[in-house]
């Protein structure tokens, strides 16, 4: 890949994020952060799921809550769980019941009324994500979507959604992780302000 091609990639990524800054999606992140903090204060937790790079983003963001997000903020852990747990669980479900049921099964086993499920999908059409969202709503779990490409089949199953205005997988994932960090910082800020968390 030439330097010019790399430059165009960066410019495309910046353009997608600029559209987000100029639109209304960032307000949705603030609303998600407020609701997530309220749910945690009431004893809930945050579950996250995705496929491929989005599964890695789910694990990444869960770690930011469980461990530490910002080096200057040494605080208690925030209850979060990435549902792509381990290869044994994933392959057992795929072999015994089918991969499409993986996240639905995890939500039904681990989720509780009052929790939040954050589903991360670049297309919004992954069957295992759609089934997980449907199960969550059936259980009284609030559903947040980090979506792209217009939201797909997942959009109507999301109580709140953040949609990246692109159908390019790379650009959507880049915006998702930036949005994810913004959401995690908002949750942390709200929980610090409430007194739920304290700095060590």
Each domain of the chain, given as residue ranges in start order, spans 3-194
State the pTM of this model: 0.96
Please spell the DSSP secondary structure of the chain, one letter per residue.
Answer: --HHHHHHHHHHHHHHHHHHHHSSHHHHHHHHHHHHHHHHHTT--EEEEESTHHHHHHHHHHHHHHT-SSTT--B----EEES---HHHHHHHHHHT-GGGHHHHHHHHH--TT-EEEEE-SSS--HHHHHHHHHHHHTT-EEEEEEETT-GGGGGG-SEEEEES---HHHHHHHHHHHHHHHHHHHHHHHHHHTSS-B-
Query: What class has domain 3-194?
Result: alpha beta
Q: How far apart are CA 76 and CA 200, in angstroms?
A: 8
How confident is the prediction for the chain on average, in pLDDT?
96
13 Rama class: left (phi>0) / alpha (psi -120 to 50) / beta: alpha
pLDDT of amino acid 71? 86
Find residue 195's DSSP bridge partners. none
Distance CA(123)–CA(60), nearest Å, equals 20
pLDDT at 27: 96
The residues of the chain scoring below 50 in pLDDT are none
Model confidence pLDDT, tens digit, residues 56-114: 999 999 999 999 988 888 899 999 999 998 999 999 999 999 999 999 999 999 999 99
What is the number of residues in the chain? Answer: 200
- The reported pLDDT for the residue numbered 1 is 72
Q: 107: how many CB neighbours lie within 10 A of its CB? A: 27
């Amino acid at each position: 890949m030439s330097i010019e091609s790399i430059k165009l990639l960066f410019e495309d990524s910046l353009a997608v994020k600029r559209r987000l800054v100029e639109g209304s999606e960032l307000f949705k992140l603030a609303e998600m952060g407020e609701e997530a903090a309220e749910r945690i204060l009431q004893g809930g937790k945050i579950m996250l799921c995705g496929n491929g790079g989005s599964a890695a983003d789910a694990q990444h963001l869960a770690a930011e809550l469980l461990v530490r997000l910002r080096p200057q903020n040494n605080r208690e852990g925030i209850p979060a769980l990435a549902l792509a747990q381990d290869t044994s669980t994933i392959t057992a479900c795929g072999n015994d019941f089918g991969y499409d049921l993986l996240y639905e099964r995890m939500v039904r086993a681990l989720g509780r009324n009052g929790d939040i499920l954050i589903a991360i999908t670049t297309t919004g059409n992954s069957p295992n994500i759609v089934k997980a969202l449907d199960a969550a709503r059936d259980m009284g779990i609030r559903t947040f979507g980090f979506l792209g490409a217009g939201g797909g089949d997942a959009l109507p199953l999301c109580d709140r959604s953040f949609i990246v205005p692109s159908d390019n997988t790379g650009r959507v994932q880049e915006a998702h992780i930036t949005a994810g960090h913004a959401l995690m910082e908002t949750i942390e800020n709200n929980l610090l302000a409430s007194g739920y968390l304290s700095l060590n």
